[in-house]
Amino acid sequence: MRYLPLSDSDRAEMLKVIGVSTVNDLFKDVPADCLLKDLVPLPLHATEMEVENDFRAYSDMNVSAGEIPFFVGAGAYRHYVPATVDYMIQRGEFLTAYTPYQPEISQGTLQSLFEFQTQVAQLLGMEVANASMYDGSTAAAEAVMMARRVTRKNKAIISGNLHPQYQEVIATATKFVDDVIVQNASTLDNAEDLISQIDDETSSVTVQYPDFFGNINDYTKLAGACHAKGALLIVVVTEVVSLGAIKSPGEMGADITCGEGQSIGNGLNYGGPYVGLFATRKKYLRKMPGRLCGQTLDADGKRGFVLTMSTREQHIKREKATSNICTNAGLCTLAFTIHMTLLGEKGLRHMADLNHEAAVKMADMLDAMDGVKVINKTFFNEFTVRLPSDAAEIVEKLVELDIIAGLPVSRLLPRNDDMKNILLVAVTETTSQDDMEDFAAELADLLKGKAS
């Protein structure tokens, strides 16, 4: 047997050593109303075929983004991933790749990570990039903590138009260190004044580009204000395809750029796994979290790849470690790298053009409706709409008509009454003309019914 269950006496002996009387005592910190009262409603035993059939039935209860018109973004975007990507990442050389503890014998893994770093640095307009983070939100938190290490200051200013979930992750990650988080309120009018808040104690200012509501801002002046006070500008990008059409964060003077790379090579996957991007200036290299792969020559003068830097405590002194990036996102970075290689610069720019063109069409359709107003002056493939009534209620009614109309902002900002009627709409190259027309027609009928 591959699994040898413990006997009752084994369990009793273990519980005695721990100092509790029953297994349930181990879960006393979990609120009683959160604990299951009965067994999970699954068969106690079944054949492999029966289990597969049961779970297929559960899976069929879901509606995937590709089955109906889909307009949700907010940090995770539906893009077309070529079949070549899935084929390549399943090759045996890549499929079982994990953290290269003996890196120099993992030349294929190191080369793919080196290519990934190169692509990310070029996309973000920075000098160096690491071999990926967990995802965009944790990368943003790492950036804030890195800025403290670089500047030796602890006041971190966070834009209110940074994705609300990214804000929460930053707050959680910095809870037990001495960072002072200055959290701004979200502003639909894009009138946030961050420059006036920067002082001599400021370590960093974190902004999103395009921001959570889809606005595209030039942060060049903000970067200058940060540098004048010895602070770092952190720019977060949640939709990396946008960089095929707009100025890179590095061109605006960003010191650290991070974000989510899911849009390239990785499907929505019901929320993960994703791939975090992280890049910075060369002078801050040794303060950067994660690993860095480098290119060199071996003893015979042939090109080779090495693990140039690894800043987690398993590799260096604990007091000099930056963070413990344990789970390897190598397969996701490989998918990113393959897709980006297939696209090339021309393909990425064309993909970005398709996204923006489709979003403009959708925005024009919605803005032409009575009682509906597109708020953004500028946007890439995601924009904010003010509806005449509760956005969450309208979205639920459209779901009944097999249209997922977008994200009601109130779901992520529930305590802000100004957001009750606000809908975040994302459009990508996967959105067809029929999808857009169906959305516009059903929304118009729904609003007419409310008016009557």
Determine the Cα–Cα distance for residues 167 and 234; give it in Å rounded to an integer: 13
Q: Picking from 16-30, 343-357, 391-405, which range would have the lowest pLDDT averaged per residue?
A: 16-30
Band (119; pLDDT cuts 50, 70, 90): very high
Mean pLDDT, the chain, whole residue set = 91
* Number of domains the chain contains: 2
Pairing of strands 373-374, 382-386: antiparallel
pLDDT on residue 311: 62
Q: What average pLDDT does range 425-449 have in this prediction?
A: 96
Band (416; pLDDT cuts 50, 70, 90): confident
319 and 376 share one domain: no
- Stronger pLDDT, 108 or 75, i.e. the higher one: 75
Determine the Cα–Cα distance for residues 114 and 122; give it in Å rounded to an integer: 12
Flag whether pLDDT at 328 surpasses 60.
yes
356 and 301 share one domain: no
Flag whether pLDDT at 452 surpasses 50.
no
Identify the CA nearest to 240 among candidates 256, 272, 264, 219.
Answer: 264
359 and 435 share one domain: yes
pLDDT on residue 98: 58
- The CA-based angle 229-247-243, given to 5 degrees, is 120
User: Is 35 among the domain residues?
Assistant: no
Flag whether pLDDT at 50 surpasses 60.
yes
Flag whether pLDDT at 284 surpasses 50.
yes
Per-residue pLDDT tens for 152-188? 999 999 999 999 999 999 999 999 888 899 999 999 9
- Helix/strand number for the chain, H first, E second: 11, 13
- 450: how many CB neighbours lie within 10 A of its CB? 14
Flag whether pLDDT at 444 surpasses 50.
yes
User: Is 44 among the domain residues?
Assistant: no
Q: How far is CA 127 from CA 18, 109, 290, 293, 323, in A?
A: 51, 22, 16, 14, 21
Q: What average pLDDT does range 412-426 have in this prediction?
A: 93
- Stronger pLDDT, 177 or 18, i.e. the higher one: 18
pLDDT on residue 88: 93
The tokens describing 288, both together, are 């950067």
334 and 423 share one domain: no
Determine the Cα–Cα distance for residues 203 and 234; give it in Å rounded to an integer: 10
* DSSP characters over 12-39: HHHHHHHT-SSGGGGGTTS-GGGS-SS-
181 and 255 share one domain: yes
Determine the Cα–Cα distance for residues 242 and 3; give it in Å rounded to an integer: 50
304 and 351 share one domain: no
Per-residue pLDDT tens for 222-239? 999 999 999 999 999 999
380 and 324 share one domain: no
Determine the Cα–Cα distance for residues 322 and 287; give it in Å rounded to an integer: 7
pLDDT on residue 101: 60
DSSP code for 112: H
Dmax over Cα atoms in the chain, in whole Å?
81
* Structural domain span for residue 423: 345-451
135 and 263 share one domain: yes
User: Is 90 among the domain residues?
Assistant: yes
- 159: how many CB neighbours lie within 10 A of its CB? 27
Determine the Cα–Cα distance for residues 273 and 289; give it in Å rounded to an integer: 20
- Whether residue 82 has a cis bond before it, omega within 30° of 0: no
Instruction: Select from 283, 316, 340 the last residue of a domain.
Output: 340
Taken in order 297, 288, 112, 91, the sign of the CA dihedral is positive
Determine the Cα–Cα distance for residues 68 and 298; give it in Å rounded to an integer: 53
Band (318; pLDDT cuts 50, 70, 90): low
Query: Tell me, what CATH number does 416's domain have?
Result: 3.90.1150.10
pLDDT on residue 79: 98
Per-residue pLDDT tens for 60-92? 998 888 899 999 999 999 999 999 999 999 887
Flag whether pLDDT at 450 surpasses 90.
no
Q: What are phi and psi of 206, to 5 degrees?
A: -110, 125
Under 8 Å between Cβ of 423 and 395:
yes
Q: What is the CA radius of gyration of the chain?
A: 24
Report long-range pairs for 63-70 (Cβ below 8 Å, ≥24 apart).
63/402, 63/404, 65/268, 65/404, 66/430, 68/402, 68/403, 68/404, 69/402, 69/403, 69/404, 69/431, 69/434, 69/435, 69/436, 69/438, 69/439, 70/404, 70/430, 70/431, 70/435
- Stronger pLDDT, 311 or 196, i.e. the higher one: 196
215 and 357 share one domain: no
pLDDT on residue 417: 85
327 and 362 share one domain: no
Determine the Cα–Cα distance for residues 373 and 77; give it in Å rounded to an integer: 23
